[in-house]
Amino acid sequence: MSATPSPRIGIIGTGAIGGFYGLMLARAGFDVHFLLRSEYVAVAERGLRLNSAVHGALTLANVQAYCNAADMPPCDWLLVGAKSTSNAELAPLIAQAAAPDAKVVLLQNGLAVEEGLRPLLPDSLHLLGGLCYICVHRAGPGIIEHQSLGSVNLAYHSGPASDAEAQLAIAEAGAALFKEAGLDSTAMPNLAQARWQKLVWNVPYNGLSVVLNAGTTALMGHGETRALILAIMKEVIQGAVACGHAIPEVFADKLLANTDRMPDYLPSMYHDFVEKRPLELRYIYAEPLAAAERAGIELPRIRALAQQLAFIDTHNLG
Ligand SMILES: NC(=O)C1=CN([C@@H]2O[C@H](COP(=O)(O)OP(=O)(O)OC[C@H]3O[C@@H](n4cnc5c(N)ncnc54)[C@H](OP(=O)(O)O)[C@@H]3O)[C@@H](O)[C@H]2O)C=CC1
Ligand SMILES: CC(C)(CO)C(=O)C(=O)O
């Protein structure tokens, strides 16, 4: 009996998230191929370096690095680690790097990211969402700082697997890859539910870190801002519930307590603001607001935050 061949994994966008998960999978023995853009030369020459508060200092010396997706071998799993703002331009690259029945996993924050990308991908590809619970950022070309956490939850969105059992089996196969790399990973039955749940954290902290120019410790240490964070979290929960995804109100208190235990953290949107990159406003703000509106409710605090972020985004881009 022949052993099942190890799947080939492609990383589309090797930044903080793509670099972290790709490096961990490669160190676990998987055949991982990394698509890069601005950091291609640095990574091809010097490899990827991870400074992790959890796993220590790790290096991946001989990185299978590419600056052109057409040069990548056909990959069975494609992990998309680029920002959701570039998904339209990534679609043809994903199709180029994909094996015929590849599983494409969007490791991105927000709601309905898969709905945005799906029409741009071949029907033969499976599409999944991956919710990363982790604090990582880039500290230089090919250098990733990992402050805490690291789990990733996967759920099936669309593609050739039509029944719920087959879809869950694919999400479980994806979770098994991460587990083999020593990371917590769970297959979830409902992607929209999982995405709303993650937004309870990202909607307040990502946006407020930019508007108030502050990390989590300062935000949490200011009484009125802490109350605002809680109120925004509760609005996200109201939106989720209106859309049919039950999240208990105490979930917000639990997230506040978890954030108190985290090291001071600047969300990825803050780094985009500082680096003058487009902010992920469509999927973290506009899509949840639109979904809530369709379900008949208005979320005024989130709307006001999104309006301020839209102003900042417009003036921040060169
Ligand atoms: N950082 C975190 O802790 C967390 C992030 N997330 C989510 O994960 C996603 C990724 O975030 P993060 O890793 O922080 O982002 P980064 O900015 O660190 O990484 C994005 C990477 O994608 C690359 N990229 C973009 N477009 C292309 C392209 N056309 N071809 C090749 N590479 C490309 C960028 O390259 P270049 O340098 O050239 O721009 C960069 O290396 C986001 O949706 C974010 O919300 C979720 C949970 C936690
Ligand atoms: C901070 C954290 C861990 C919240 O879940 C995160 O995953 C993010 O920044 O998106």
pLDDT in tens, 288-305: 999 999 999 999 999 999
The model's confidence at residue 81, banded by pLDDT at 50, 70 and 90, is very high
Stretch 45-69: mean pLDDT, rounded? 98
pLDDT digits (tens, 9 = 90+) for 241-256: 999 999 999 999 999 9
Nearest to 128, CA basis, from 100, 107, 99: 107
Mean pLDDT of the chain: 97
**For residues 34 and 57, what is the distance between their CA atoms, to the nearest angstrom?**
20
Residue 2 has pLDDT above 70, yes or no: no
Q: Are 195 and 111 in contact (CB under 8 A)?
A: yes
User: pTM, whole model, 2 decimals?
Assistant: 0.97
pLDDT of residue 1: 44
Instruction: Tell whether ligand 2 has an atom less than 6 A from the beta carbon of residue 207.
Output: no
Ligand 2 nearest atom to the CA of residue 109, by list position:
10
Q: Are 159 and 143 in contact (CB under 8 A)?
A: no
Higher pLDDT, 318 or 165: 165
Catalytic, 103? Answer: no
Taking the CA of 10 as reference, the closest ligand is 1
Residue 3 has pLDDT above 90, yes or no: no
Nearest to 209, CA basis, from 149, 138, 289, 264: 264
Residue 158 has pLDDT above 60, yes or no: yes
pLDDT digits (tens, 9 = 90+) for 194-242: 999 999 999 999 999 999 999 999 999 999 999 999 999 999 999 999 9
CA distance readout (Å), 230 to 110, 156, 194, 234, 237: 19, 30, 19, 6, 11
Angle at 309 between CA 243 and CA 83, to 5 degrees: 75
CA distance readout (Å), 202 to 120, 233, 255, 270: 26, 9, 11, 11
**For residues 253 and 75, what is the distance between their CA atoms, to the nearest angstrom?**
41
High-pLDDT (> 90) share of the chain, %: 97
Ligand 1 nearest atom to the CA of residue 108, by list position:
43
pLDDT digits (tens, 9 = 90+) for 98-128: 999 999 999 999 999 999 999 999 999 999 9
**For residues 94 and 244, what is the distance between their CA atoms, to the nearest angstrom?**
32
High-pLDDT (> 70) share of the chain, %: 98
The model's confidence at residue 146, banded by pLDDT at 50, 70 and 90, is very high
Q: Are 270 and 264 in contact (CB under 8 A)?
A: no
Ligand 2 nearest atom to the CA of residue 198, by list position:
5
Q: Which residues pair with 186 in a beta bridge?
A: 153
Per the structure block, which two tokens stand in for 185? 């990973």
User: How many Å lie between the centroid of ligand 1 and the Cα of residue 12?
Assistant: 9
241: left (phi over 0), alpha (psi -120 to 50) or beta: alpha
Helix-helix angle 191-211:223-242, to 10 degrees: 150
Taking the CA of 42 as reference, the closest ligand is 1
Per the structure block, which two tokens stand in for 66? 């590419």
Active-site position among 83, 103, 179, 198: 198
